[in-house]
Structure 1
Amino acid sequence: MRVLFRYLMAGLLALSLAGAATAQDGKPTQEDAKAITLKAAELIAARGLDEAAKVFNADGEFKYGEIYVNVIDFAGTWKVYPPRPAGVGQSVINVKDPDGKYVVQDVLAVAKDKGEGWVEYRWLNPASNKIEPKVTYVKRVPGQELVAYVGIYK
């Protein structure tokens, strides 16, 4: 019985480590982006934007590889932007992708109209230095005029 218990525990440990390695080392999926966005919105609602921003800006489950959490308010002002923290406080309401699509306005429309959902556009991938298709999951923070979102390159 003891051998079986050790075998099961070793198997569970291996599975949990493999799952963590996939999320941290492999290319993130749309499901990863959605799950992180939903968790980010919950964190903001529970602990407030200032405390959540500290977590979002630190390397970890909310910031790794191409994954990071953006937060904007309903006016289109950056509240959290880990790739360039100096951008916090700037209006991004009129930011367009290379095809002229108003990305932030689309993000806000989804958040205001549906509460959450996907937005697709093209953006410069810093890893490849090329314009690539990107898909972003958007979630309105419950009870607040804030939107959290996470995107991945396709």
Structure 2
Amino acid sequence: MKKSFFLLLGLIVGLIAANAWAEGSATKDECVIKCHEAAAMINSKGLEAAIKAIGDPKGPFVWKDSYVFLMNLDGKMLAHPFHPELTHQEHVLLMTDPTDKALFVHFVNLARTAGHGWVEYMWPRPGKTTPSKKLSYIYRVPKHDLFVGAGVYVGGMIY
């Protein structure tokens, strides 16, 4: 009886912890929604307002463990809330992840061809330096040579 109680207690605690972790992790659906909201903002309020909002680490496009970033089709990062230094480069096309994947080239190619879709690569979680597997949704902004992206971290707990 005592053993069953502790087994049940352990299961309940585990479920609560898993649920709390899941609530702190962005979903793929949220990424799609946030990207479409960011694109709508670009079309309604203009590029400068969008750059300011998207680049703000406490702004409307940062949530849970995710965020929206903004690039043009030439590979220039226009707004990134956690790596603003990327916006100072002419382009980020030569950057690779730890597996040598040219992630930004994949982003640009996807935005140019299909207009939207998912790319898997390695990238550090906000506030961390160790890369984690990430899956980002890329969405080309209608009527512009721009795209936005947002992603989910795949597997593992936030450390």
TM-score where L is the length of structure 2: 0.74
Q: Which residue in 2 is equivalent to 1:113? A: 113
Runs of 4+ in 1 over 4 A off after TM superposition: 126-129
| Cα deviation digits, residues 89-125 of structure 1 (max 9, x gap) | 4110111111111100100111111111111111223
TM-score where L is the length of structure 1: 0.76
Q: Report deviation, 1:33.
A: 1.0
Q: Give the Cα–Cα distance (whole angstroms) in 1 for the partners of residues 153 and 84 of structure 2.
A: 21
Equivalent residue letter for 1:84: H
Q: Which residue in 1 is equivalent to 2:82? A: 83
State percent identity of aligned pairs.
29
Structure 1 pair 68–126 and aligned structure 2 pair: CA distance change class (3 A): closer
Q: Which residue in 1 is equivalent to 2:31? A: 33
Q: Helix, strand or coil: the match of 1:69? A: strand
Q: Give the Cα–Cα distance (whole angstroms) in 2 for the partners of residues 128 and 54 of structure 1.
A: 23
Q: Helix, strand or coil: the match of 2:148? A: strand
Q: Which residue in 1 is equivalent to 2:140? A: 140
The alignment yields a C-alpha RMSD, in angstroms, of 1.9
Contact 1:57–1:63 under 8 Å retained in 2 = no
Contact 2:55–2:69 under 8 Å retained in 1 = no
Q: Report deviation, 1:80.
A: 0.5
Q: Give the Cα–Cα distance (whole angstroms) in 2 for the partners of residues 44 and 105 of structure 1.
A: 22
Q: Which residue in 1 is equivalent to 2:149? A: 149
Structure 1 pair 26–125 and aligned structure 2 pair: CA distance change class (3 A): closer
Q: Give the Cα–Cα distance (whole angstroms) in 1 for the partners of residues 129 and 64 of structure 2.
A: 15
Q: Helix, strand or coil: the match of 1:121? A: strand
Gaps (5+ residues) in structure 1?
Answer: 1-21
Contact 1:56–1:82 under 8 Å retained in 2 = yes
Q: Report deviation, 1:128.
A: 5.5
Q: Which residue in 1 is equivalent to 2:122? A: 122
Contact 2:73–2:111 under 8 Å retained in 1 = no
Equivalent residue letter for 2:106: D
Q: Give the Cα–Cα distance (whole angstroms) in 2 for the partners of residues 104 and 135 of structure 1.
A: 13
Gaps (5+ residues) in structure 2?
Answer: 1-19, 155-159
